[in-house]
Amino acid sequence: MLDSLLALGGLVLLRDSVECEGRSLLKALIKKSALCGEQVHILGCEVSEEEFREGYDSDINSRLVYHNLFRDPLNWSKNGKAFPEGPLGALRALCRRTDPGPVTVALDSLSWLLLHLPCTILCQTLHALSHRSSCPDSSSSMERVRVLGLLHEELHGPGPVGALSSLAQVEVTLSGMLSQTSANILYRRPRQRPTHQTQCFSILPDFSLNLQGMSTLESQPHPDPPTTQADPTAHLTFNLRLSEKEKEAKDSLTLPFQFSSEKQQALLCSGPGQATSCIFYEPDAYDDLDHEDPDDDLDI
Amino acid sequence: MFPELNNLLNTTPDRAEQGKLTLLCDAKTDGSFLVHHFLSFYLKANCKVCFVALIQSFSHYNIVGQKLGVSLTTARERGQLVFLEGLKSSVDVFFRAQEEPHPLQFLREANAETLQPLYEFVREALKPVDSGEAAWRYPVLLVDDLSVLLSLGVGVVAVLDFVHYCRATVCWELKGNMVALVHDSVDTEDEENDVLLNGLSHQSHLILRAEGLATGFCRDVHGQLTILWRRALRTTAQREQILTYQYKIQDKNVSFFARGMSPAVL
């Protein structure tokens, strides 16, 4: 279910495309987290803070902490306002956060980070981010931080996308035309088989999720819906099998060019019912008739 | 500007939207008529225009502009137009003292990793002048085109960073507009160009795509234009509006018509 994506911790990968953008879904999931009382940290690389906060009301906006990598990510202006260590430093700073309580981190977008950082370092940092331990000296298990990452899948090759996909606990691929948007959701729960669902949804102007129909397919990461195969032996214009009578008739048929003993007898003695035939020949003056038997020297 | 294209885009020079990135792309045809349209459109809208022209000379754009009713020479003289003529100033890179950064500095470098000098040029050209009264309405950056930067050896991430910074400065900070042309390499599999085109498509608000006809050259229909408005999912209107028209380029105008409705075949 699309609205239970946030129940699991770990990395949630939102894969969108030019035809079907995913930032609205990201904002809808952020709103859900904020409504649950969590704090949400957003690493914004692609849109300005105003554009990102647009559409949220004030109490949700108060729970969002926007780390601005849009204005000057590479420190070109050199006015001291940019992150001193660049995008990687900003990402690592999120790992070192010490706020208590559950927290959601939204990366807008992972594509931007993947274009500017080596894939291995990004994957290691993401893994550290989503398995963060809140207090190193406490005996509690590692706190699961929820990480939402937006990925534009046409911008990267299969290698980096596959690496991020294998890190993700949930992978949502958006597709759809015009008014119908659907999400293919792949769950990777630990020690369980991956499960797959497809859900149609729409997003309302206030970034609430409006869920529509859903279908579930178990244990198939990349399924085709199983179609019932038509029986190819139905509705034929010819027989595939023989009845008993037909089998007997077939077995008792003598083939025309098969030389059996009956045929030999029939050839050697001309049967009683056969009409004898004669040839009458009148030789003319130029014929050279030889009355010797040309087969005389044959030893039959 | 072409009045019929304004009607299709539902815009006029007086009430154009601000803070938008428009992506022009062409496939199997020449989409430069769209560049001429937007150049004359924003000059008529009384905007301050910075034109990074890497493909043609100034006189080429001026001649076409005069057919569309704008004079680039006049606009440049009165400060409305800042024109970077790539063909001419690329030679200056080699004959200048090396301490002074040139916008096309990347031509001197073996592996151009950054287009920061070009961005600084744009920022300097479009920064608001403290003259008391606002002479021009809003700044506009026009780039013709971005694919040639890839051909000149700039990496695709550097070009995307340049567009990012221009967008942050021109569209967000100065509330202006940006228009850029990218060629679509349909037959040749150019991965870097595809990444550039897709990356810019994700950031654009409006995408105009000119394509040649699949059946080849035609005297009466020169190509097909697809207009794509990228809106967020949450608008109650249609999520994305896609319109397709065919066009014919004439001497001073471009006429648009629905597919199959060319006057020549009706």
| Residue B263 within any structural domain of the chain | no
A88 CB neighbour count, 10 Å cutoff: 16
pLDDT confidence of B25, banded at 50, 70, 90? very high
| Residue B266 within any structural domain of the chain | no
Distance CA B46, CA B41 (A): 9
Q: A202 and B233 in contact by Cβ < 8 A?
A: yes
Kindly give the parts of chain A with pLDDT less than 70.
Answer: 1-3, 98, 132-144, 177-179, 215-229, 269-275, 300
What does the pLDDT look like over A8-57, one tens digit per residue?
778 999 999 988 888 989 999 999 889 888 889 999 999 999 989 988 88
Distance CA A2, CA B49 (A): 46
Distance CA B39, CA B45 (A): 10
Shortest distance, CA B20 to any CA of chain A (angstroms): 12
The pLDDT, as a whole number, for residue A137 is: 46
What does the pLDDT look like over B75-93, one tens digit per residue?
999 999 999 999 988 888 8
- The CA–CA distances, whole Å, from A137 to A123, A141, B72 equal 26, 11, 69
pTM: 0.80
Q: Contact A65/A52 with Cβ under 8 angstroms? A: no
User: Sign of the CA dihedral B126, B131, B134, B136?
Assistant: negative
* Full residue range of the structural domain in which residue B95 is found: 3-257
* Cα B188 to the center of its chain, rounded Å: 23
The pLDDT, as a whole number, for residue A236 is: 80
The pLDDT, as a whole number, for residue B187 is: 77
Shortest distance, CA A69 to any CA of chain B (angstroms): 11
A207 CB neighbours in chain B (<8 A) are: 234
The pLDDT, as a whole number, for residue A1 is: 67
Query: Higher model confidence: residue B218 or residue B209?
Result: B209
Q: A23 and B172 in contact by Cβ < 8 A?
A: no
Q: Which of B60, B35, B69 is nearest to B179 (CA)?
A: B35
User: Total structural domains in chain B?
Assistant: 1
| Residue B222 within any structural domain of the chain | yes
Considering CB atoms only, which of B114, B119, B199 is closest to A155?
B199
| Residue B264 within any structural domain of the chain | no
Mean residue pLDDT of chain B comes to 88
Which residues numbered 186-215 in B keep a CB inside 8 Å of some CB on A?
A: 194-195, 198-199, 201-203
Partners of A171 in the β-ladder? A13, A186
Which residues numbered 129-158 in B keep a CB inside 8 Å of some CB on A?
A: 157
What does the pLDDT look like over B95-147, one tens digit per residue?
877 677 888 888 888 777 889 999 999 999 998 877 655 688 899 999 998 99
Which helix (H) or strand (E) segment is A107 a member of? strand A103-108
Distance CA B255, CA B248 (A): 5
**Which CATH number characterizes residue B209's domain?**
3.40.50.300
| Residue B262 within any structural domain of the chain | no
Q: Contact B139/B174 with Cβ under 8 angstroms? A: yes
Q: Contact A219/A194 with Cβ under 8 angstroms? A: yes
The DSSP bridge pattern shows strands A195-203 and A180-187 to be antiparallel
The pLDDT, as a whole number, for residue A86 is: 83
Q: Does residue A178 come out as left (phi exceeding 0), alpha (psi in the -120 to 50 range) or beta? A: left
pLDDT at position B179 over 80: yes
3-state secondary structure of A174: strand
Query: Which tokens is A243 given?
Result: 């009845």
Tell me which chain A residue has its CA closest to the CA of residue B169: A71
Query: Which tokens is B7 given?
Result: 């009607």
Shortest distance, CA B208 to any CA of chain A (angstroms): 14
Distance CA A165, CA A155 (A): 15
- Spatial strand order in the sheet of B139-144: B81-85, B48-53, B139-144, B177-183, B21-27, B206-211, B223-230, B240-249, B254-257
What angle, 0 to 180 degrees and rounded to 10, lies between the N-to-C axes of helices B116-126 and B156-166?
20
A55 reaches B (C-beta below 8 A): yes
pLDDT at position B178 over 60: yes
Helices (H), A235-286: 244-252, 261-268
Distance CA B20, CA B200 (A): 12
